C-alpha cells in the first residue's frame, strides 16, 4: 500500500468504522462535551494496582537545629554591638535573662564586653557587671574574661583601672584595637573551648644534655661549652656537684670565677633559714 495515495484520516478511521480514542476530543465535538483526562481514566482508580498520589499539602519545615558546639550565646542587650557584624565563623544565638554578655559554653567560659570610652563615662559599670556574674554562680564558669575594645588614644589610666578590677575579680583581660580583632577573639575563644592547655605549656626536653644545659647555664657565667666540659670530666651532674674546688679548677676553660659560682650554687641551701 502506497501511503501517498491515502487520504486524510477522518473520525471514522481508515475504514470508516473505527473511532478516535475517547480521551481525545473529536473535531466535530465542542470543548464543553469533550471528556477530560481524569474522567477518561477514572476507572483506573477502581483497580487493585492503583496507588493514591501523595498529598499536595506542604508541611511547614522546621529549620535545622544548630550545632551547639558552634554557637556563642549572646545577651540580648548586646544586639547593637558593632562587633557582632564581624563575627563570621561561629553562630550567634540571642538569649534573654543572661547575666554575662557572651557565654562560650554552658560551664566553660563567659565574657563581659567593655569599651574604654564607655568605662570613662561609667566607671562603675565593670565592677557592677563582675559582681553580678560572681553573685549568680561563682563556680559555674572555668574561665571568665573581660573583652575590652580600646577606642580611646589616651587609655593608659583607664586600662590600669580596668585591669585592676579584672584581676581582683578573677577575670582575664583581653584587649582589642578594632571591631574585627574583637570578633576574632570571640571566635578563637569558641574554637579553643575544649582544648587542653598543652599548647601553651613549656615543652620539657626528654634528653639528658638539653636538661643539663638548662640547669647549669642558669648559673651565672656558665655557658654550654662549660657544661660539655664539666659533664665529660665528671660524668654526671651528681659527680659534678660532689667535685672539690681543686677538681673543678683543673677543667679547661673553667676559671676561678666560674668555680666560685658553681660551688656557691651547689652548696646553697634550698630553703632560707
Grid coordinates representing 130?
563582675
pLDDT tens per residue, range 57-80: 544 455 455 565 688 899 999 988
CB neighbour burial string for 130-163, b if at least 16 within 10 angstroms, e if fewer: beebbeeeeebbebbbbbbbbeeeebeebbeebe
pLDDT tens per residue, range 97-156: 889 999 987 778 899 999 999 999 999 999 999 999 888 776 778 889 999 999 999 899
| Residue 107 to residue 66: CA distance in whole angstroms | 19
pLDDT tens per residue, range 94-105: 998 889 999 987
Sorted by where each starts, the structural domains of the chain and their CATH numbers stand as 68-194 (3.40.50.10130), 208-267 (1.10.150.20)
Closest CA to 95 of 112, 72, 115, 111: 72
| Residue 149 to residue 171: CA distance in whole angstroms | 16
User: What share of the chain in percent tops pLDDT 70?
Assistant: 76
Kind plus residue range of the DSSP H or E element containing 14 = none
| Residue 111 to residue 20: CA distance in whole angstroms | 80
Residue 45 has pLDDT above 80, yes or no: no
Largest alpha-carbon pair distance within the chain? Answer: 136
Mean residue pLDDT across the chain: 80
Amino acid at each position: 500500500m502506497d501511503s501517498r495515495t491515502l487520504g486524510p484520516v477522518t473520525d471514522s478511521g481508515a475504514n470508516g468504522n473505527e473511532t478516535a480514542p475517547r480521551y481525545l476530543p473529536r473535531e466535530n465535538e465542542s470543548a464543553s462535551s469533550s471528556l477530560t483526562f481524569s474522567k477518561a481514566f477514572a476507572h483506573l482508580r477502581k483497580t487493585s494496582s492503583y496507588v493514591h498520589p501523595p498529598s499536595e499539602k506542604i508541611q511547614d519545615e522546621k529549620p535545622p537545629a544548630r550545632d551547639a558546639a558552634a554557637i556563642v550565646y549572646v545577651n540580648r542587650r548586646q544586639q547593637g554591638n558593632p562587633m557582632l557584624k564581624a563575627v563570621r565563623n561561629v553562630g550567634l544565638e540571642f538569649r534573654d535573662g543572661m547575666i554575662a554578655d557572651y557565654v562560650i559554653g554552658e560551664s566553660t567560659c563567659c565574657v563581659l564586653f567593655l569599651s574604654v570610652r564607655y568605662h570613662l563615662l561609667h566607671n562603675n559599670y565593670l565592677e557592677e557587671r563582675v559582681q553580678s556574674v560572681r553573685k549568680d554562680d561563682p563556680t559555674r564558669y572555668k574561665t571568665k574574661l573581660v573583652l575590652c575594645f580600646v577606642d580611646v588614644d589616651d587609655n593608659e589610666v583607664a586600662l590600669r583601672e580596668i585591669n585592676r578590677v579584672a584581676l581582683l575579680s578573677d577575670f582575664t583581660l583581653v584587649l582589642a584595637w578594632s571591631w574585627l580583632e574583637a570578633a576574632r577573639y570571640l571566635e578563637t575563644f569558641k574554637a579553643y573551648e575544649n582544648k587542653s592547655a598543652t599548647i601553651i605549656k613549656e615543652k620539657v626536653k626528654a634528653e639528658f644534655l638539653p636538661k643539663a644545659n638548662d640547669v647549669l647555664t642558669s648559673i651565672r657565667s656558665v655557658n654550654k661549652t662549660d657544661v660539655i666540659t664539666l659533664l665529660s670530666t665528671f660524668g654526671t651532674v651528681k659527680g659534678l656537684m660532689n667535685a672539690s674546688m681543686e677538681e673543678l679548677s683543673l677543667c679547661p676553660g673553667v676559671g676561678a670565677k666560674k668555680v666560685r659560682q658553681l660551688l656557691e650554687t651547689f652548696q646553697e641551701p634550698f630553703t632560707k633559714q
